[in-house]
Amino acid sequence: MPRAKNKRHILHPQAVQPTRSAGQRQRSGGLPARGTTGSVADNVLAKRAIVEALQKSYQTHERTVDAASMSKYMRNQFAFYGLRCPQRRELDRQVLSRQRSFDQGLLTSIATELWQKDQREFQYFVVDLLSKKVRDFVGSSSSHFKQASSCLLILLTTKSWWDTVDLLASGVVGPLVMKHGSVGIDLVEEWIQGDNMWLRRTALLHQLKYKEKTDSDRLFRFCLQCAHEEEVFIRKAIGWALREYHKVDPGAVERFVRRNASNLSALSKKEALKHT
């Protein structure tokens, strides 16, 4: 089935006293005093402190041998500090422990800056942060949706690989679509028809965590729209999305696969019925 051209829409008692300077608000650890976000100036200060502390922490704990093997595993597309996931997340926790609250502006600012850095651990930090603070990131207003979707478009289409795209799809895009209803659905409807493979994969996977709230009609329709593709990342995504929904309604998935056996690839069918 041919795809349409992609469109380009694509407190607290210890609060900081207003008379104190930005320098006075910082403590010896380099992070701002624990407080709330809100003003642009506060967000700039908080972002700078987090980015600088994170970079210093990663550099201090760098493991060059592991970095080489991790880069090789990712087909040498990205540089690494060599930080294993449990260690990295503990370092991340320490860096973030001084920042009590996050608003969408701060989250977006951190994400876009760290996404430009070479080492892949920075992108993993962003994925974890947005997934953990997803309610603050997706917001509830139309302006929140516009900012979140614009940020996600950058994250999904630059430095794209399954290790970040898949987690963003299910952990951030999924909640965004769920929260914003029709405009969110319009977004993934646009992506599934677009030219960017990673956006199509995201559209296929955004309902992975919906369970009983899955829109099966949209799921099945998206699968059929991409069923003709030979790209393995799309074929596996179709199978994965169907397999997850199979846990909710096995009969519906099995009927869908059976009726569309000639359209679905062998890989998609195998993945979809993996646990039958």
- Local confidence band at 35 (pLDDT 50, 70, 90 cut-offs): very low
Residue 120 in any domain: the answer is yes
Share of the chain above pLDDT 90, in %: 84
Residues 160 and 184 in one domain: yes
Cα–Cα dist 149/248, whole Å = 28
Which residue bears the tokens 């953990």?
Answer: 132
pLDDT digits (tens, 9 = 90+) for 215-260: 999 999 999 999 999 999 999 999 999 999 999 999 999 999 999 9
* Element containing residue 150 per DSSP (H, E): helix 142-157
Give backbone dihedrals phi and psi of 188, rounded to 5 degrees, phi first: -70, -25
User: In this structure, what CATH number is given to the domain that contains residue 37?
Assistant: 1.25.10.90
89 and 145 together in one domain: no
How many domains are there within the chain?
3
Is residue 252, in this structure, part of any structural domain at all?
yes
Q: Are residues 194 and 138 in the same domain?
A: yes
Q: Are 234 and 241 in contact (CB under 8 A)?
A: no
Residue owning tokens 């976000």: 37
In this structure, the answer to whether residues 87 and 98 fall within a common structural domain is yes
Residue 16 lies in a domain: no
Q: pLDDT tens, 2-13?
A: 454 444 444 333
> Which structural domain range is residue 36 located in?
24-130
150 located within any domain: yes
Flag whether 6 is in a domain: no
- Does any domain span residue 14? no
Residue 8 within any structural domain of the chain: no
Res 37: pLDDT: 54
Give domain status of residue 171, yes or no: yes
Q: Over the stretch 46-71, which tens digit does the pLDDT of each residue have?
A: 999 999 999 999 999 999 999 999 99
State residue 39's pLDDT score: 84
Question: Could you identify the residue written with the tokens 């008379």?
Answer: 19
